[in-house]
Structure 1
Amino acid sequence: MKPAQTILFILVSLIPLPDPLAAGNFPPYDGSAEREAFWEFHNIRVVEQLRTEEQQLSEQLAKETSNAAKDAIQASLAGVRKRLAKPEFFTFATLVDLPPGLVWENGLGEPEIGDPRAKKGGTFNSYIPSFPPTIRVLGENANNAFRGYHYDDIEMGLVGLHPETGAVIPALAKEWAVSPDSRTVYYRIDPEARYSDGVPVESDDWFNTFYMQLSEYPQNPFGNEWYSSQYTNITRYDSLTLSITLAEPKALTPYWTSLTPMPRHFYKEFGPDFESRYQWRSRPTTGAYAIRDGDLKFGRSVTLTRVKDWWAREKQFNRHRFNPDRLVYRVVRLPEKALELFFQGSLDTFLVGDPTHWYERIEIPQVHDGYIRKAKFYNVWPTSSAGLYLNTAVSPLDDRDVRIGVSHAMNYQKVIDFDLRGDYRRLNAFSEGYPLLGNPPITAREFSPDKARAAFASAGYTKTGPDGVLVNQKGERLSLTITHRKAPVIDKYMARLREEALKCGLEVRLESMDGSAAFQKASQKQHQAVQVAWGTTPPFPDHFQHFHSKDA
């Protein structure tokens, strides 16, 4: 089935930008003893939780009368008892404990990535619409828009996926082997792997990843739930050999177990004040770039500098990549201002999100004379799950009929046809466009004043006020506040949605904010609705992070 396609526009120019400065420190604290005590503590906690779950399921089974329900409970009970037979989450073993007959892979048969003609050096100048609220990768506000630039796109996991073939390729691990049941992956860490500060990467750093993700110190409900429910064991065989076990078998098992290490020497001070202590600390990285001391200019820019003598620079899948010496991200709050800076040569690329820019503003001599290159291309994967996200915990969105009505009242197709000039396509479902899964048999609800009003009537909004807004028997207006990032093109199409929603009897109030402020408000669940574009996680959609009840 053909994947969803989204268009990206990029302009390219070449001019350098200056160096930024950076940030402070906290007094030392040693949390090593607490970390080492955590392994036994958590193992005991897992056993207690499993026994409690076993008891609860046994009691439910005794009371249940439906055969179908009994079968489901018995299946769950069997799963819990299987876990109880081998409940240890953190295991310390030796190489002789490795299962016999493992088939080790290295992925070196895949083609190289990048162009050998690419030259290394220079500075790549780009921009971000707001300064990140933190450079921590865990805790409150860590999942901000800048995280991808300095973490997800930089750090290395145990393995990676080849961008063209989709095959597993080495990263921090030089070899891996998958268990027959597709639940456990065994890894041999590359002995050359180093952090940017020169410290070797070791198995214990993945133990530290689990420790920090399972800890209650950071505000981290996703990590707490994901790492406790999706994994059942991590085993250290020696400093360069480990295994990670999933709770259930999955396709492409190495992808799901390819976690990023948390350097235990850097996070030695992890403790109750972690979020404030590490708010602006630049961590050592495993990838090609790092934020060095002096690379942060608060409110102005963030710079990533290429790691000198990066350990993986000559590896097969890296030697033609990560070419600039420095990546400078300058804060420019308005796209129009960023475009002017691009024309002046202060920015090297400009990602065109506003069709007016593409079709009108960049029809200039520099483009026609070849000094600026316009590029338009399609992605294999959907670039984002952009849309309206509703807070179903607040009224009136806690009513399903209201939510259905809102779906029919949002005229996104008109936004695409007129405001975005037909250059985008509406996804029918959150997980559309992932070829390994196929597209779900779902069609997005069309804009329909009749269907919207019928749904609103089912929720009790049956009378129309003098301004066209529906009200219920209590005189409460049907009103929705939408928080969104402030930008000319977004302001324009949000105004279009407001205008179209009124035809359906829905009052839309727009709350235009700085991107970081809008993200923080939504993260803290202080919004009613938020217009946002979340990043994607090829080759699979991330249903867990978006829809699991732990975020309810």
Structure 2
Amino acid sequence: MKKLILATSVSLFSLSGWAAELPENLNWQTNWDAPKIGSPDAKRGGTLRTHLQSFPQTLRTVGPDSNSGLRSYFLDEMPSLVKRHPDTLAWIPDLANEWAYGDDNKTIYFKLNPEATWSDGEPMTADDFVFMLQFYRSKDIVAPWYNDYYTNTIASVEKIDDHTVAISTATEKNQEELMYTLGSLVPRPAHFYANPRKDENQDGIADDYVRRYNFKVEPTVGPYELGRVQKGRRLTFNHVDDWWGYTNPYYQNRYNVERIRMRVIRDNDIAMKHFEKGNLDVFDLVLPDIWHEKTQSEPYKKGYITKFWGYNEVPVGAGGLWMNSAMPMLDDINVRKGILYATDFDGMIEKITRGDYSRKPHAMGFGHGEYDNDGATPPPFDPKKAIRYFEQAGFDQVGADGIRVNDKGERLSFAITYGYQQHTPRIAYLKEQAKQAGLEFTINLVDGSSAFKYVLEKKHQLAFLNMGTSEIPAYWEYFHSDNANKTQTNNHSNYSSPALDKLIMAYKSEFDTAKKYQLSHQIRAKISEASVIVPGYMVPYVRQGFWRYVQIPDNAMTKRTENMVTSGRVMGFGTFWIDEEMKDATEEAMEDDKAFEPVTIIDDRYKL
């Protein structure tokens, strides 16, 4: 018999089978009429070979060091209760087949797909959503953001029966935001974490969760489970046998390859050579110098490799150059404002990225509709204006090396932390331009996932970093005082203010959509005034190369496509497939030095 776990001050139902009652006269809804996502031409089978630039710090999806690496494979892109259709943006069934709104503006009832199972064969049930809340509220996961969100935003998860749950928010929300908040929830496998030691806390989560599960493979409801892992070198994802997802028409003809093999190749140039030799099947061509200059070799000219460029309408998250306001000198707003005008992102976009990228209008991102439709524009590069601010901060002298100093002899010098070698030319450009204002940027390249760990530990002065986002922008994690001056939070600027706290909390609880838009505008204005992030760039498209036997549907892009073919960063929608006959023909052609017609596909239907 399973032990009953009681949670204080929350409405939780245990794994013992207790159930809430289903209200009468609910209006159950579903949506099986949206266009299907996969192609009927898709073929099952084959192995996709791709690469990672650094091995993940952990296989956990929460807790220290988890917010990078392969997180999207394990959590962010996993099936949730419902999903947005990637083109119509209407809600469609995912783990839940039907849903109904309660009359309290807080609750949605979900009927789960009874066919859904975990990759280890255990059925996925309402208990796994009950456990999800218990899991995220536990202090043992060492994840303050999750502790807060799943306490102060998600109020309760109640089991009606094995395949019906009622989930509620803490505050009233309009239907669209309510579904956005609750429909995106992903279960956790209760059976995987069951039976903790007797000496552990009564929340059901192991006291040593962080260490115990650092490299344990959690069962998944997604199409691929992690198989062989060679730490620091490579790992393999295997397709889940008889995956339940194919009972959902929106998953049919998707996730077609049997295996995804990833090897760690830290140097991008070396990885590209492996790709062009046929050792990798896909390679990201987002970087302008790669697309425009380095794709003129024989494999492209002979049609062995397809070049693909597709535009999307994916919301863009916060980012650019984050300033750690807890660091000396950066606690002076005049220094920060000077940095805003001494950082030449516009020139970097034009000179280094060939104008392919676009400037973010605001530090908190773009593409959230009315939430960020406030007419914001990024600060221009203006060395003279930067100098005026630096002088107000006391840096009114110029050293022999051209860098400003104050009367204490402190140099106006800050290190920029970043994680990828290919970004070095961009940082170098910013460094050279900043000298015009007497500002020195030094370069602090930290390997991949280690760079984000470095920033989470708040060791940085400046961080060259872009964050993900969703359709409704989040502000609490980035700017509320609860997350300032703490490690393992996303307040990378360590900035907060009582006025901003008040606006953020009002924004989180606001029911009226129009008022929420206005609060968003006010928050963005306050963030601009704080001058803690130099708005960076955005890349509103997908650019990849893949061998000709990696096939994609006609008109393959959707508004929400972030990767056409699975790479080491994002799993994507899995609409591609491998044509084994074409692969054999391609290998024969290479042996015979036979060429095909070169192929470059440009899908600009969603170009802004």
Question: Structure 2 length as normaliser, TM-score?
Answer: 0.74
User: Which residue matches 1:280?
Assistant: 215
Is 2:249 the counterpart of 1:316? yes
User: Which residue matches 2:399?
Assistant: 465
User: Which residue matches 2:473?
Assistant: 541
Is 2:442 the counterpart of 1:499? no
User: C-alpha displacement at 1:280, in angstroms?
Assistant: 0.8
Is 2:97 the counterpart of 1:174? yes
Q: Which structure 2 segments of 5+ residues have no match?
A: 197-204, 485-608
State the alpha-carbon separation in 2 of the partners of residues 356 and 472 from structure 1.
40
Q: Is the alpha carbon distance of 1:378 and 1:384 closer, same or farther for their aligned partners in structure 2, counting shifts above 3 Å?
A: farther
Is 2:91 the counterpart of 1:165? no
Q: Is the alpha carbon distance of 1:318 and 1:475 closer, same or farther for their aligned partners in structure 2, counting shifts above 3 Å?
A: same
What is the SS of the residue equivalent to 2:66? coil
State the alpha-carbon separation in 1 of the partners of residues 148 and 482 from structure 2.
7
User: Which residue matches 1:518?
Assistant: 451
Is 2:122 the counterpart of 1:187? no
Q: Which structure 1 segments of 5+ residues have no match?
A: 1-29, 44-87
User: C-alpha displacement at 1:463, in angstroms?
Assistant: 1.8
Give the count of matched residue pairs: 469
Q: Is the alpha carbon distance of 1:314 and 1:205 closer, same or farther for their aligned partners in structure 2, counting shifts above 3 Å?
A: closer
Is 2:279 the counterpart of 1:332? no
User: C-alpha displacement at 1:333, in angstroms?
Assistant: 0.6
1:69-80 equivalences in 2 (<5 Å): none
Is 2:201 the counterpart of 1:266? no
Do the aligned partners of 1:38 and 1:211 also contact (CA within 8 Å) in 2? no
Is 2:149 the counterpart of 1:226? yes
State the alpha-carbon separation in 2 of the partners of residues 447 and 265 from structure 1.
56
| Aligned-partner residue type, residue 479 of structure 2 | F
CA RMSD in angstroms, aligned pairs only: 2.0
User: C-alpha displacement at 1:386, in angstroms?
Assistant: 4.4
Q: Is the alpha carbon distance of 1:233 and 1:144 closer, same or farther for their aligned partners in structure 2, counting shifts above 3 Å?
A: same
Moved over 6 A (4+): 92-96
User: Which residue matches 1:256?
Assistant: 181
State the alpha-carbon separation in 2 of the partners of residues 207 and 95 from structure 1.
11
Which of 259, 271, 286 in structure 2 is aligned with 1:353? Answer: 286
Which of 167, 172, 185 in structure 2 is aligned with 1:244? Answer: 167
What is the SS of the residue equivalent to 1:328? strand
| Aligned-partner residue type, residue 474 of structure 1 | K
Do the aligned partners of 2:6 and 2:12 also contact (CA within 8 Å) in 1? no
Is 2:11 the counterpart of 1:89? yes
CA deviation vs aligned residue, 1:130-172 (integer Å, no higher than 9, x gap): 000011111111111321133322x211111111111111111
State the alpha-carbon separation in 2 of the partners of residues 134 and 492 from structure 1.
30
User: C-alpha displacement at 1:105, in angstroms?
Assistant: 1.0
User: C-alpha displacement at 1:460, in angstroms?
Assistant: 2.2
> After alignment, is 434-443 or 368-377 more displaced?
434-443
Do the aligned partners of 2:13 and 2:130 also contact (CA within 8 Å) in 1? no
Which of 477, 481, 499 in structure 1 is aligned with 2:415? Answer: 481
User: Which residue matches 1:391?
Assistant: 324
User: Which residue matches 1:23?
Assistant: none
* Percentage identity across paired residues of the two chains: 34
Is 2:375 the counterpart of 1:441? yes
Do the aligned partners of 2:131 and 2:188 also contact (CA within 8 Å) in 1? yes
Do the aligned partners of 1:416 and 1:423 also contact (CA within 8 Å) in 2? yes
Do the aligned partners of 2:229 and 2:236 also contact (CA within 8 Å) in 1? yes
State the alpha-carbon separation in 1 of the partners of residues 40 and 469 from structure 2.
29
User: C-alpha displacement at 1:438, in angstroms?
Assistant: 5.0
CA deviation vs aligned residue, 1:271-305 (integer Å, no higher than 9, x gap): 1111111111111101111113xx21111112111
Which of 363, 381, 397 in structure 1 is aligned with 2:314? Answer: 381
Do the aligned partners of 2:47 and 2:261 also contact (CA within 8 Å) in 1? yes
State the alpha-carbon separation in 2 of the partners of residues 350 and 372 from structure 1.
10
User: C-alpha displacement at 1:415, in angstroms?
Assistant: 0.9
| Aligned-partner residue type, residue 167 of structure 1 | A
User: C-alpha displacement at 1:385, in angstroms?
Assistant: 4.1
Is 2:123 the counterpart of 1:200? yes
State the alpha-carbon separation in 2 of the partners of residues 181 and 443 from structure 1.
39
User: Which residue matches 1:102?
Assistant: 26
Do the aligned partners of 2:431 and 2:441 also contact (CA within 8 Å) in 1? yes
User: C-alpha displacement at 1:533, in angstroms?
Assistant: 2.4
User: Which residue matches 2:461?
Assistant: 528
What is the SS of the residue equivalent to 2:466? strand
User: Which residue matches 1:289?
Assistant: 224
State the alpha-carbon separation in 1 of the partners of residues 52 and 318 from structure 2.
20
CA deviation vs aligned residue, 1:93-149 (integer Å, no higher than 9, x gap): 977732222111121122211211111111111111100001111111111132113
State the alpha-carbon separation in 1 of the partners of residues 11 and 460 from structure 2.
38
User: C-alpha displacement at 1:448, in angstroms?
Assistant: 0.7
State the alpha-carbon separation in 2 of the partners of residues 458 and 227 from structure 1.
44
